[in-house]
Chains A and B, each alone.
Chain A
C-alpha cells in the first residue's frame, strides 16, 4: 500500500509543502493534500470534520484520541497523518451501522459508562479493537487494554460493566 518514496520527494522539491494522502475512513475512501506535520488526529478533525475523536493530552498518555488503524487501537494524536497512507481507519462515527447503535454503544448507554462523555469515543474504540481481536477477553485483559484510556468522571466501574455486558450480548446476539 505504501506509496513510492520518490513521490514525496518530488512534492517537496517542486516547492509544495503538502503531500497527497489517501486512506479509508469508516469505509469511505478519502484523498487529501496535507502538511507533513499534521497529526492523524488533526486530519480526522480538521480535514474530515469528524469531531468525535478528541484530544485530551496530545501526548499519547490519555487515550481520548484512540482510533482503530488497520485493526489496532492507536492514539491518533502522536501519529502523523501521512503515516496512515493506505490505512483503514475506524472512528467513533463508524460504530453505529444502518442508523442503529451497536451493542457496545447501547451498553455504554444502559450501564451509564459515561458522564461528561469526553473520554467515551476513545473507550469505545479501544474496546472495539479488543473485542474484534478477542471476543472473550478475561477481566484482566479488558483492564490491561483499557487502562491506557483515562476517565476522570466514572471511576471506570460502569465502563467495565458495559464491556462485560457487551461481550455477553455479542456472544448471544451475534454468535461471536
Chain B
C-alpha cells in the first residue's frame, strides 16, 4: 500500500459529509472489504479515510410495517443472513447475503458497501432491485432518495457525488404471499464472485420481478421481460419461454470468469429454476 492517509472517525453524519466534501481523495470506510483491496493494489491513492462505523444511526437494521426494512450503511452482511425478519420477508435478499464472499468477509462487509462498490457482479443488487429498494443518500446539499435501479451508472460508478454518503437502504414491505429466491452460478462451491446471479420475485398481486447481475455493466432489473411474462401469465410454459427470452434482455461479456455464451445459458437456467421454484414446480 503506497497511500498515506489520514484517518477520521466521525460520530455524526454531518461531520462525515463535511469532511468528505472538504478533502480531496477521501474515501468512506465501512467494512473495508473492497476498499482495503483497492488500497493494497494501489488502484486508488487515498489521502483521507472516513470511517463511518461510529455514526450511531448507520448501524440500524429495522423493520416496520409502514416503512419496510431499513438497512443502515454500517450493517454487515452476516446480520442480514442471521435476521429472521429478512429471512421471512425478503428471502432472496437473505439468500444473496448468505452467498456473498466468505463467512469472515460477511462479518465485515456491509450491504451498502456492496452496492457502493458498484461491481457488475455484486450479489445483493439483484435482490434489492426486485424489492424496489430505495437508496437514502445524504450530502452537502441535503438528503435525497434514489431508487436502486437508478443508482448504478456504470462499472464501479454510481450517482453519488462528492461529499455524498449512502445512509441506508430501504425496502418496502413485501405484503402477504410475496415470494422470492436468489440463485447464482459460480466456478466452484466455495466463495466466488457470481458468474451470473438472478433474483426472482412473485409479488402478492402475482406479478414477477427479475433482477440480475454479471450480465451487463451494472446490475439490472429486467422490467421489459417482466412485462412480457406478466402479460402471458405465469405458468410452466411461460417460464420455459422466459428462459429463452431473457437472452434478448441482457448483454453479458466474456471475461476471465466466464464466456458470454455460458452467462447467457446460466441466466436462462437460473431464471427458469427460480420461477419454477416459486410456483412450486421445481425441476
Contacts and interface: CB of A to CB of B under 8 A. Distances in A.
Interface of A: 2-5, 8-9, 12, 17, 19, 36-37, 39, 58-61, 63, 66, 72-75, 77-80, 82-83, 126, 144-148
Nearest to A1: B54
Nearest to A146: B103
A19 B4 CA distance: 13
Contacts of B105: 60, 75, 148
A83 B51 contact: yes
Contact of A8 (B8, B103, B104): B8
A60 B36 contact: yes
Interface string B1-33: 101111111110001000000000000010011
Nearest to B35: A78
B102 A63 contact: yes
Interface in B101-145: 101-105, 107-108
B37 interface: yes
Contact of B6 (A36, A75, A78, A83): A36
B32 A72 contact: no
A158 to B, nearest CB: 18
6 contacts: A5-B8, A36-B6, A63-B102, A77-B36, A83-B32, A126-B104
Nearest to B188: A147
A67 B103 CA distance: 13
A78 B108 contact: yes
Contact of B37 (A73, A78, A145): A78
B49 interface: yes
Interface of B: 1, 3-11, 15, 29, 32-33, 36-37, 39-40, 49, 51, 53-54, 78, 98, 101-105, 107-108, 189-191
A78 B109 CA distance: 11
A78 B39 CA distance: 10
B104 A2 contact: no
Contacts of B3: 37
A129 B33 CA distance: 19
Given A9-B8, A36-B49, A75 B104 contact: yes
Nearest to A12: B6
Contacts of B4: 17, 37
Given A75-B105, A78-B32, A83-B51, A59 B7 contact: no
Given A8-B8, A147-B191, A148-B102, A80 B107 contact: no
Contacts, number: 96
A39 B108 CA distance: 14
Nearest to A38: B1
Contacts of B33: 60, 78
Contacts of B102: 60-61, 63, 147-148
B107 A72 contact: yes
A170 B121 CA distance: 41
Contacts of B1: 37
Given A72-B107, A74-B108, A147-B102, A3 B40 contact: no
Most chain B C-beta atoms within 10 Å of own C-beta, residue among A9, A17, A19, A148: A148
A9 B6 CA distance: 8
A2 B9 contact: yes
Given A5-B8, A8-B7, A83-B32, 8 more contacts: A2-B11, A36-B5, A58-B40, A60-B33, A74-B104, A74-B108, A82-B9, A148-B105
Given A2-B11, A36-B6, A37-B5, A80 B32 contact: yes
Contacts of B10: 5
The 7 closest A-B pairs by CB, nearest first: A148-B102, A78-B36, A36-B7, A2-B54, A72-B107, A12-B6, A145-B103
A5 B11 contact: yes
A145 B5 CA distance: 33
B46 to A, nearest CB: 9
Contact of A5 (B29, B36, B54, B98): B54
